Amino acid sequence: SSGTTRAEHKSRHFHPDLELYDLNAQFNFKAHVLPDREQMPLLVLFPPRHELPNSSLAHWLSLMVERFGMDGSDWFVSNSSGLDAPRLLSKLGEAHQPVGVLAASFGLVHFLEYCQDHGERVTLPPGSRVMDTGGYKGRSREYAKDELYAMVTDCLGVPASHIVNMYGMTEHGTQFLDAVLRDHVRNPAAGLVRYKVVPPWARSLVVDPETMVERPPGERGLLLHVDLINRASALSVLTEDVGHSLGDGFELLGRAQGSEARGCSIALDELIEAVRGAAR
């Protein structure tokens, strides 16, 4: 893991091999980020696998670029130089076909704030999309989800129907992605409903934090995930994340009060701020 809760005690999740993890990740990405096409140029706001060889997110993003990225795919964050916002802005401005922007949420925040600070906007080709992950966990700044997505639409011209959030953690092998783009492709006239899809090999329960009894649909509680990808570790993972059941999945509402902010998005925020500080 990124070790943002306790840097000296990073969590580790051991798998006999990554074959099942990788198949699960690719299936989920294709179903929810690329439901209407096989490949596209992917532009990533996170360091690649060779810079962070023990990061589950770096591996996940590298896998998506290798499997689904067309010519023109590229990386715009490095351990040594942080976020290269000017180069990314230039790349986006030159796009003549739909592109996918994959970002840790705080990396996306830093880039959008750069665009606002410099009065920059681009209108990406129709069919372009943004996938963010890590949530907005309130370390150095905090945006409501709708506020951040409005910034994406304003700065990049990507509609809310094409902005997909991915929720995952080192402790379980399955990632949960928004249904919004998948459902839009199936029925463009339908209203926009944003919730996380639970794939067939997992079950997500919303439970009472005191009794562990499952909550009725629509009532909030802690998220408990039963994940067959964890076949060699813990099949059931109780989180400190709050949500309620919705559709064929759940809506993620945030962290339980009093729990620590954690995750790869915050780790990227720390990296970008550290590089900025060193450059001053």
Q: Determine the straight-line distance between the first and last CA of the chain, rounded to whole angstroms.
A: 29
pLDDT computed for residue 81 by the predictor? 85
pLDDT computed for residue 142 by the predictor? 75
User: 146 lies in a domain?
Assistant: yes
**Confidence class for position 234, pLDDT limits 50, 70, 90:** confident
pLDDT computed for residue 258 by the predictor? 55
Task: Supply 10's token pair.
Answer: 């990073």
Whether the CB-CB separation of 178 and 195 falls below 8 Å is answered with yes
Of 264, 228, 219, the closest CA to residue 246 belongs to: 219
Bigger pLDDT: 9 or 210?
A: 210
The per-residue pLDDT for range 50-96, each reduced to its tens digit, is 999 888 899 999 999 999 999 999 999 998 888 999 999 999 999 99
Beta strand residue intervals within the chain, DSSP E = 42-45, 74-75, 77-78, 82-83, 100-104, 129-133, 163-169, 172-177, 196-197, 202-207, 221-227, 236-246, 249-255
CATH of the domain at 141: 3.40.50.980
Bigger pLDDT: 228 or 254?
A: 228
pLDDT computed for residue 138 by the predictor? 39
User: 6 lies in a domain?
Assistant: no
Q: What are phi and psi of 80, to 5 degrees?
A: -85, -35
The per-residue pLDDT for range 96-137, each reduced to its tens digit, is 999 999 999 888 999 999 999 999 999 999 999 999 997 554
* Amino acid (one-letter) located at 59: H
Of the chain, the percentage scoring pLDDT greater than 70 comes to: 84
User: 5 lies in a domain?
Assistant: no
Q: What are phi and psi of 226, to 5 degrees?
A: -105, 120
pLDDT computed for residue 232 by the predictor? 82
The mean per-residue pLDDT over the stretch 208-217 comes to 92
**Confidence class for position 271, pLDDT limits 50, 70, 90:** very low
197 has pLDDT over 80: yes
The mean per-residue pLDDT over the stretch 225-230 comes to 93
Range of the domain at 166: 19-198+259-279
**Confidence class for position 16, pLDDT limits 50, 70, 90:** confident
Query: CA angle at residue 85 from 73 to 139, to 5 degrees?
Result: 110
The mean per-residue pLDDT over the stretch 26-47 comes to 97
- Average pLDDT over all residues of the chain: 86
User: 227 lies in a domain?
Assistant: no
pLDDT computed for residue 139 by the predictor? 43
- In three-state secondary structure terms, 265 is helix
**Confidence class for position 274, pLDDT limits 50, 70, 90:** very low
170 has pLDDT over 80: no
CB burial string 59-89: b at 16+ within 10 A, e below = bbbbbbbebbbeeebebbbeeeebbbbeebb
CA-to-CA distance for 233 and 236, rounded, in angstroms? 9
pLDDT computed for residue 137 by the predictor? 46
pLDDT computed for residue 221 by the predictor? 93
User: 225 lies in a domain?
Assistant: no
Residue at token pair 């907005």 = 136
Of 68, 27, 55, the closest CA to residue 271 belongs to: 55
- Total structural domains in the chain? 1
The per-residue pLDDT for range 252-269, each reduced to its tens digit, is 998 776 555 554 554 545
**Confidence class for position 275, pLDDT limits 50, 70, 90:** very low
pLDDT computed for residue 267 by the predictor? 54
User: 251 lies in a domain?
Assistant: no
In the sheet where 249-255 sits, what is the strand order? 196-197, 249-255, 236-246, 221-227, 202-207
Please return the burial class of 187, using the count of CB atoms within 10 Å of its CB with bins 0-12, 13-18 and 19+. exposed
User: 269 lies in a domain?
Assistant: yes
280 has pLDDT over 50: no
User: 133 lies in a domain?
Assistant: yes
